[in-house]
């Protein structure tokens, strides 16, 4: 009865009703709260998902869990949903997450009786406890501990794991789908196992009870062969914060506050050279990351001073020519996936400072991957033709009618900061359309929309929203929103390192390019709002119900969120953007805000792609776009479906 009554209610009344009925748990700032994006799959307290497909995390050695998080992030283990979640987190925070789950004490489920014949179980037991000398296979116990319960810091136990999981992991090592830190002991061991032996081990191990109060050994025996197996260097606590801080697994030369950076190191942050010139899990600036374009993939090369594979033999003039003219040392033309169409505005002094910084990096010998471009785009002739149309080396033209601050902002946004590389629409040949500078654009081949930096209702700056947008650029979150997707990487590697003066100068410039300021949707009076297609009341009721079930505990009954932990959805431009690509992505795939100096331990949003059908997702998103004073058109099932199919 209540339900049919509610269906008749207008939306705002409905939202109000929910605000009275929803019982959101009070917010407590805890690791359990911060890691809800993990426990939706891994079960409460990391006890494993109900069917065992999502592995247990509770009680496993912290070093082991930490290594796995780095493995997913750096591409040695593969599960897209997890890799996406952990990508913007710092090593220090991943270690804290690992330590949190490691310390949780949760009982194990009873073992599953095996249906395998006795001789299969006997074979599994022999391999586990004694190994097989004829195959030079050591006993699993030699590393995993006499009781097979593992050992700190980095060897996991083998009991209490489902048979399917054991089979899958040993199989993944055999096919190199799973790798551990080098030296990868398990790759060697799994490589020696026949498929019958893998199956025997999985049968026997999964049928053994976990001893009561089983814990990993506190330390590895001094003669344990597992000491030889790869492990990450743990981040070390620093005096300044009292907690652990980001220490990259590969040494990075550019730690510290912006003030402590040399001019060259600072400019490298502003230009975000590292993001493109670092491969997943690779050494910083050593190149190898592929930039996908509609014409194929272009790989950014090695910027370290290695003489054979990097910039070791380059002169300052060579470097200037690359940045200013888009030509390599030997004169060949470079692809504009390298944003020299922006960098051409760099001053010679700044280019020299940048080059000076790159020279101080530790040389890494790593040849670049050859580009994979389709003909005719792969030819220098095609590139020369493109450049004749769309590129002229130029210098930054200061506008003397504007303040020095405005000019600094323009130099940063148009030049080194290359905001237009994503925020300006491109034509069919991939050239930025200067007439629509910063007017918002879909990113090529990615289902992300870089919103307009001119329109304050999208991502443009005005007096009312500038504090919020600058907080986002400096720290990744504000009470009014969070950065997501490709922008999270820009904030993490670039804008969080900008000095206050440069952020302010950028704001002065961006406010001046903003189209005539229009009031934010929140402050707009009812009558002035554009009329929006309204959705059927059934869909709205459905969306409201789903919101109450899945979202209310974090984003609140009024969509007001909780401080900087959970962003507000009411009055959030990311929710009401005309282009819904980002909104759909965020809800399907979840994510953490980037770990930054201002916000080193971000909260996470769970992925819903496995749980919500397209139709439900559309109804839910339509609801949040039209509730609490938000006024935006409905989201269709088709838009959701497209996002699901576009993500690899």
Site for ligand HEC in 494-513 (CB under 6 A): 495, 506
Q: Applying CB under 6 A, does 459 fall inside the site for ligand HEC?
A: yes
Q: Applying CB under 6 A, does 263 fall inside the site for ligand HEC?
A: no
Q: Quick check: 204 and 167 in contact, CB under 8 A?
A: no
Q: Could you say which of 79, 237, 256, 385 contacts ligand HEC (CB under 6 A)?
A: 79
**Cis amide linkage into residue 577, ω under 30° from 0:** no
State the minimum distance, in angstroms, from the CB of residue 533 to ligand HEC. 20
State the minimum distance, in angstroms, from the CB of residue 288 to ligand HEC. 11
Q: Could you say which of 153, 156, 235, 556 contacts ligand HEC (CB under 6 A)?
A: 156
Q: Which of residues 81-100 bind ligand HEC (CB under 6 A)?
A: 81-82, 85-86, 97
Comparison of 182 and 404: residue with beta carbon closer to ligand HEC? 182
Interface with ligand HEC by CB under 6 A: which range of 242-250, 333-341, 524-532, 639-647? Answer: 333-341
State the minimum distance, in angstroms, from the CB of residue 118 to ligand HEC. 19
Q: Could you say which of 328, 369, 532, 615 contacts ligand HEC (CB under 6 A)?
A: 328
If 0-12 CB within 10 Å is exposed, 13-18 middle and 19+ buried, where does residue 399 land? exposed
Q: Quick check: 116 and 203 in contact, CB under 8 A?
A: yes
Q: Quick check: 96 and 125 in contact, CB under 8 A?
A: no
Interface with ligand HEC by CB under 6 A: which range of 2-10, 264-272, 625-633, 634-642? Answer: 264-272
Q: Which of 553, 554, 562, 529 is nearest to 630 (CA)?
A: 529
Q: Could you say which of 62, 120, 300, 364 contacts ligand HEC (CB under 6 A)?
A: 300
Q: Quick check: 558 and 522 in contact, CB under 8 A?
A: no
Which CB contacts under 8 angstroms, 24+ apart, belong to 427-431? 429/386, 429/389, 429/390, 430/293, 430/294, 430/295, 430/336, 430/386, 431/336, 431/341, 431/386, 431/389, 431/390
Interface with ligand HEC by CB under 6 A: which range of 250-258, 298-306, 392-400, 631-639? Answer: 298-306
How far apart are alpha carbons 466 and 568 in whole angstroms? 17
Q: Applying CB under 6 A, does 635 fall inside the site for ligand HEC?
A: no
Comparison of 245 and 456: residue with beta carbon closer to ligand HEC? 456
Q: Which of residues 390-409 bind ligand HEC (CB under 6 A)?
A: none
Q: Which of 111, 97, 128 is nearest to 52 (CA)?
A: 111
How far apart are alpha carbons 563 and 286 in whole angstroms? 39
Q: Quick check: 242 and 231 in contact, CB under 8 A?
A: no
CA angle 29, 34, 36 (to 5 degrees): 125
State the minimum distance, in angstroms, from the CB of residue 413 to ligand HEC. 6
Q: Applying CB under 6 A, does 62 fall inside the site for ligand HEC?
A: no
Comparison of 15 and 170: residue with beta carbon closer to ligand HEC? 170
State the minimum distance, in angstroms, from the CB of residue 134 to ligand HEC. 14
Interface with ligand HEC by CB under 6 A: which range of 271-279, 393-401, 512-520, 534-542? Answer: 271-279
Q: Which of residues 28-47 bind ligand HEC (CB under 6 A)?
A: 35-38, 40-42
C-beta atoms surrounding 99 within 10 Å? 16
553 Cα distance to chain centroid:
23
Q: Applying CB under 6 A, does 127 fall inside the site for ligand HEC?
A: yes
**Cis amide linkage into residue 406, ω under 30° from 0:** no
If 0-12 CB within 10 Å is exposed, 13-18 middle and 19+ buried, where does residue 605 land? buried
Comparison of 1 and 621: residue with beta carbon closer to ligand HEC? 621
Q: Which of residues 166-195 bind ligand HEC (CB under 6 A)?
A: 166, 168-170, 180, 185-186, 189
How far apart are alpha carbons 289 and 217 in whole angstroms? 40
Q: Could you say which of 286, 605, 627, 634 contacts ligand HEC (CB under 6 A)?
A: 605
Comparison of 4 and 478: residue with beta carbon closer to ligand HEC? 478
**Cis amide linkage into residue 376, ω under 30° from 0:** yes
Total chain residues near ligand HEC (CB under 6 A):
119
Q: Which of residues 203-242 bind ligand HEC (CB under 6 A)?
A: 225-226, 229
Q: Applying CB under 6 A, does 630 fall inside the site for ligand HEC?
A: no
How far apart are alpha carbons 185 and 143 in whole angstroms? 10
State the minimum distance, in angstroms, from the CB of residue 403 to ligand HEC. 18
Give the per-residue contact string, 509-538, with ligand HEC (x = CB under 6 A; - = no): ------------------------------
Q: Applying CB under 6 A, does 163 fall inside the site for ligand HEC?
A: no
Q: Quick check: 552 and 623 in contact, CB under 8 A?
A: no
How far apart are alpha carbons 217 and 147 in whole angstroms? 9
Q: Could you say which of 70, 95, 618, 624 contacts ligand HEC (CB under 6 A)?
A: 624
Q: Applying CB under 6 A, does 625 fall inside the site for ligand HEC?
A: no
Q: Which of 608, 644, 642, 613 is nearest to 542 (CA)?
A: 613
Q: Applying CB under 6 A, does 296 fall inside the site for ligand HEC?
A: no
| Rg for the chain, CA atoms, rounded | 27
Comparison of 8 and 317: residue with beta carbon closer to ligand HEC? 317
State the minimum distance, in angstroms, from the CB of residue 290 to ligand HEC. 8
**Cis amide linkage into residue 632, ω under 30° from 0:** no
Comparison of 247 and 599: residue with beta carbon closer to ligand HEC? 599
C-beta atoms surrounding 122 within 10 Å? 13
State the minimum distance, in angstroms, from the CB of residue 234 to ligand HEC. 14
Q: Applying CB under 6 A, does 562 fall inside the site for ligand HEC?
A: no
How far apart are alpha carbons 623 and 241 in whole angstroms? 42
Q: Quick check: 175 and 190 in contact, CB under 8 A?
A: no
State the minimum distance, in angstroms, from the CB of residue 357 to ligand HEC. 9
How far apart are alpha carbons 114 and 90 in whole angstroms? 42
Q: Applying CB under 6 A, does 566 fall inside the site for ligand HEC?
A: yes
Comparison of 8 and 109: residue with beta carbon closer to ligand HEC? 109
Q: Could you say which of 95, 555, 558, 619 contacts ligand HEC (CB under 6 A)?
A: 555
Q: Applying CB under 6 A, does 581 fall inside the site for ligand HEC?
A: no
Q: Which of 501, 461, 510 is nearest to 266 (CA)?
A: 501
State the minimum distance, in angstroms, from the CB of residue 634 to ligand HEC. 14
Q: Applying CB under 6 A, does 469 fall inside the site for ligand HEC?
A: yes
Comparison of 485 and 600: residue with beta carbon closer to ligand HEC? 485
CA angle 222, 223, 227 (to 5 degrees): 80
Q: Applying CB under 6 A, does 247 fall inside the site for ligand HEC?
A: no
Q: Applying CB under 6 A, does 438 fall inside the site for ligand HEC?
A: no
State the minimum distance, in angstroms, from the CB of residue 239 to ligand HEC. 27
């Amino acid at each position: 009865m209540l339900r049919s009554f509610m269906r008749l209610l207008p939306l705002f009344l409905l939202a109000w009703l929910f605000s009275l009925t929803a019982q959101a748990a009070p917010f407590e700032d805890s690791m359990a709260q911060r890691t809800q994006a993990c426990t939706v799959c891994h079960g409460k307290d990391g006890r494993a998902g109900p069917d065992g497909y999502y592995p247990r995390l509770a009680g496993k050695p912290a070093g082991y869990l930490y290594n796995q998080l780095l493995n997913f992030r750096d591409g040695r283990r593969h599960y897209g949903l997890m890799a996406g979640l952990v990508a913007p987190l710092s090593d220090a925070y991943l270690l804290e997450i690992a330590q949190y789950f490691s310390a949780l004490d949760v009982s194990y489920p009873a073992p599953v009786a095996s249906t395998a014949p006795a001789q299969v179980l006997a074979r599994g037991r022999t391999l586990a406890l004694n190994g097989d000398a004829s195959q030079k296979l050591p006993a699993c116990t030699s590393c995993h501990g006499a009781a097979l319960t593992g050992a700190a810091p980095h060897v996991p136990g083998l009991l209490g794991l489902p048979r399917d999981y054991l089979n899958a992991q040993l199989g993944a090592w055999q096919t190199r789908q799973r790798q551990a830190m080098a030296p990868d002991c398990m790759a060697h061991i799994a490589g020696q196992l026949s498929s019958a032996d893998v199956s025997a081990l999985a049968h026997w191990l999964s049928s053994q009870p976990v001893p009561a109060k089983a814990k990993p050994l506190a330390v590895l025996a001094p003669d344990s062969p597992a000491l030889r197996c790869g492990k990450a260097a743990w981040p070390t606590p620093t005096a300044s914060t009292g907690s652990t801080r980001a220490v990259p697994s590969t040494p990075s030369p550019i730690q510290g506050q912006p003030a402590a950076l040399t001019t060259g190191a600072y400019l490298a942050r502003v230009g975000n050279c590292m993001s493109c010139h670092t491969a997943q899990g690779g050494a910083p600036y050593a190149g190898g990351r592929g930039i996908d374009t509609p014409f194929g993939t272009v790989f950014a090369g090695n910027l370290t001073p290695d003489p054979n594979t990097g910039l070791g033999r380059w002169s300052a003039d060579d470097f200037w020519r690359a940045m200013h003219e888009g030509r390599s040392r030997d004169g060949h033309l470079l692809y504009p996936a390298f944003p020299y169409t922006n960098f051409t505005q760099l001053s010679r002094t700044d280019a020299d400072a940048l080059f000076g910084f790159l020279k101080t990096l530790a040389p890494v010998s790593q040849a670049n991957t050859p580009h994979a471009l389709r003909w005719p785009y792969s030819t220098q002739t095609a590139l020369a033709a493109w450049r004749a149309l769309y590129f002229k080396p130029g210098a930054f033209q200061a506008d003397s009618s504007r303040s020095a601050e405005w000019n600094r902002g323009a130099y940063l946004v148009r030049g080194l900061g290359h905001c237009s590389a994503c925020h300006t629409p491109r034509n069919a040949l991939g050239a930025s359309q200067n007439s629509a500078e910063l007017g918002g654009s879909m990113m090529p081949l990615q289902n992300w929309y870089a919103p307009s930096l001119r329109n304050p209702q999208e991502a443009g700056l005005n007096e009312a929203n500038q504090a919020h947008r600058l907080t986002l650029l400096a720290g990744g979150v504000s009470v009014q929103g969070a950065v997501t997707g490709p922008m999270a990487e820009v904030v993490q590697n670039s804008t969080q390192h900008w000095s206050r003066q440069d952020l302010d100068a950028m704001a002065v410039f961006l406010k001046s390019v903003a189209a005539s300021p229009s009031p934010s949707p929140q402050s707009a009076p009812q009558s002035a709002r554009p009329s929006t297609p309204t959705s059927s009341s059934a869909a709205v009721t459905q969306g409201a119900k789903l919101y109450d079930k899945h979202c209310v505990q974090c984003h609140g009954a009024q969509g007001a969120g909780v401080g900087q932990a959970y962003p507000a959805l009411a009055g959030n431009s990311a929710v009401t953007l005309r282009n819904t690509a980002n909104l759909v992505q965020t809800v399907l795939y979840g994510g953490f805000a980037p770990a930054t100096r201002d916000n080193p331990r971000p909260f996470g949003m769970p992925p819903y792609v496995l749980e919500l059908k397209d139709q439900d997702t559309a109804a839910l998103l339509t609801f949040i776009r039209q509730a609490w004073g938000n006024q935006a058109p409905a989201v269709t099932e088709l838009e959701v479906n497209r996002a699901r199919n576009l993500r690899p």
